[in-house]
Chain A
Amino acid sequence: MKSIDSLIKTNDVSYVYLNSINPIKAVNKISLSIKQGEYIAMLGRNGSGKSTFARLLNALLLPSEGEVIVLSKNAANEDDLWFIRKRVGMIFQNPDNQIIGTTVEEDIAFGPENLGVIQQEIKSRVTQALTDVGILDLRERAPHMLSGGQKQKVGIAAILAMHPMCIIMDESTSMLDPLGREELLKVVSILNKKEKITIINITHHMEEATFANRVIIIDNGKIVEDGTPAEVFTDVDKITKIGLDVPQVTLLLHKLKKAGYLKKVDAITVKQAYERIVQILE
């Protein structure tokens, strides 16, 4: 078991959409290794290939070229398909279109039911998942009576009940209001720290990247940046050229640097930026 520390590994993965008139290469030879317990923010413009890439990671799509290895199992192997989907859960953009049950409880039970978990254990898993996400009081609610943020939390709980090692959020915050988004990210952060669940948050909100400990920027189906948030956001010019925004505080420091007050840009949160500015003033 040489790859015990690498949860997901991709080797030169490409994906081509064939169903259009001219085939589109959405993912172009991405090689990447994701470790257990990482919190990754995956950024990119619309159509950059980040969602396609995410779908390759839990075998919803199979690569046209290259291979995806999850816990030393190849995603292209049909026998391992369910093993992989059980370990790598995914929540999607539209909170309404991923709730299958007529009540919250039933929706969360859907995953374990598919895995063939025995009845008593399903109940305890549902209770545990609801407690972990902090929505135990919503247990009996019907999905249409929930807010968007609550629905996405149900989505997270539904994956947790399957005991995953990784949760992929495919633009899951994009349809939420700021409060709902903040709460969802808080829940996910706690899961990452406490349960060591790997989080891959696909987003185009730069501010969300500050929660992560690794930022990957994808453009035209290729990885253009990969590193800690501080490393990646240092290069403000490059990121703006790709068509993305940097967090506001980083932009502020970048301007201060241009004006000659700072040697390097290394702050991504308001607190860090505050400290740097205080340093300048002193």
Chain B
Amino acid sequence: MIKDITLGQYLPGNSIIHRLDPRTKLLMTVSFMMVLFILNSILSLIISMVIVLSCYHIAGISYKYAFKGIKPVLYVIVFTVILNVFFTSGAPLLVWKFITISKEGVNSAILVSLRVLTLITSASIMTYTTTPIMLTDAIEKLFKPLKKIKVPVHEMAMMMTIALRFIPTLIDETDKIMKAQAARGADIGTGNIIQRAKSFIPILVPLFISSFKRADDLAIAMESRCYRGGEGRTSMRVLKFTNKDLFAFIAFVLFTIILFVLQFFI
């Protein structure tokens, strides 16, 4: 059961969004987030939300996954809404005893919550439609120019790949160690918070030691397969911009213009 967890939150599919170049998706997501911070009208933000949700529709991903991403930050949103509604000064909309709700307060509460919701759903759609390994590739390619100023881009991407590769293996191992320690009478996960934290030491120590052993083995295996850093290395997966990406970029730019036009002229 513990083996079945998926890496990241990738949901397999074959939609146009799935097939876009990961660099396109990454760039568009980042720029879309910036656009969201600049946008300042409720109408524009509502339209952005609609755009993001229609991306879910195109990708064939159920809206409940959009909600799944929001869930953990729901409290934060509620909290900011309360703060904004009650503590923003301006033209009073409702006065009851000492509580004053201003028009500006309501306005900014809606703005902030819409912005956060759209931010999260738009970032989620990228991780839902792109495998972690593709994202790593995209990051490596996009940051390649940084190599000139001696940033170890390839090494960082390789480390991410290895981390992704070993997450399931280490989860498996944790499971085994927990069972082994339980068989020796270790009491895991009971008692107060300090006792529970302490009970994880006999799990973490063997896990750490074996990870170092694995790292050592892996380094030797990589070396014996002629790994010598990124220099002169080719790749089986080659990222290629296609017409789909061009189309996506044009659509993105058009929508951005529309959003700004709406904000400034209406």
Contact = CB atoms under 8 A, between A and B. Distances in A.
B257 interface: no
Interface in A95-137: 96-102, 105-106, 109-119, 122-123, 126
A85 interface: yes
Given A94-B217, A98-B217, A86 B226 contact: yes
B220 interface: yes
Interface string A12-30: 0000000000000000000
A86 B165 CA distance: 24
Given A97-B214, A119-B234, A85 B164 contact: no
Interface in B147-175: 161-162, 164-165, 168-169, 172
A29 to B, nearest CB: 25
Query: In the complex, which range does the number of interface residues on chain B fall in?
Result: 20 to 34
B238 interface: yes
Interface in B215-230: 217-218, 220-228
B242 interface: no
A92 interface: yes
A82 B3 CA distance: 37
Contacts of A102: 7, 132-133, 161, 164-165
B99 interface: no
A109 B161 CA distance: 14
A162 B223 CA distance: 13
A116 B232 contact: yes
A97 B218 contact: yes
A113 B236 contact: yes
A249 to B, nearest CB: 35
B233 interface: yes
Contacts of A210: none
Contact of B234 (A96, A122, A159): A122
A108 to B, nearest CB: 9
A143 B165 CA distance: 8
Contacts of A60: 220, 223-224
Interface in B221-266: 221-228, 232-238
A119 B236 contact: yes
Nearest to B214: A97
A142 B164 CA distance: 11
Contacts of B227: 110, 114
A100 B222 contact: yes
Given A96-B214, A100-B162, A111-B225, A119 B220 contact: no
A144 B169 contact: yes
Majority SS of interface residues in chain B? helix
A123 B238 CA distance: 11
Contact of A89 (B172, B225, B228): B225
Query: In the complex, which range does the number of interface residues on chain A fall in?
Result: 35 or more
A113 B218 contact: no
A27 to B, nearest CB: 17
Contacts of B238: 119
A98 B218 contact: yes
A126 B235 CA distance: 12
Contact of B224 (A89, A112, A122, A126): A89
A116 B225 contact: no
B226 A85 contact: yes
Interface in A2-57: none
A142 B227 CA distance: 21
Contacts of B235: 113, 119
Contact of A162 (B164, B214, B225, B228): B225
Contacts of B221: 92, 97-98, 100
A19 B218 CA distance: 21
Contacts of B169: 96, 143-144
A142 B8 CA distance: 14
A158 interface: yes
A119 B235 CA distance: 6
Contacts of B133: 102, 106
Contacts of B162: 100
Given A98-B221, A144-B169, 15 more contacts: A82-B226, A82-B228, A90-B224, A100-B221, A101-B165, A102-B161, A110-B222, A110-B225, A114-B226, A114-B228, A122-B234, A122-B236, A126-B236, A143-B165, A145-B3
11 contacts: A58-B224, A60-B224, A89-B224, A89-B225, A92-B221, A97-B213, A109-B236, A112-B234, A113-B234, A142-B168, A143-B165
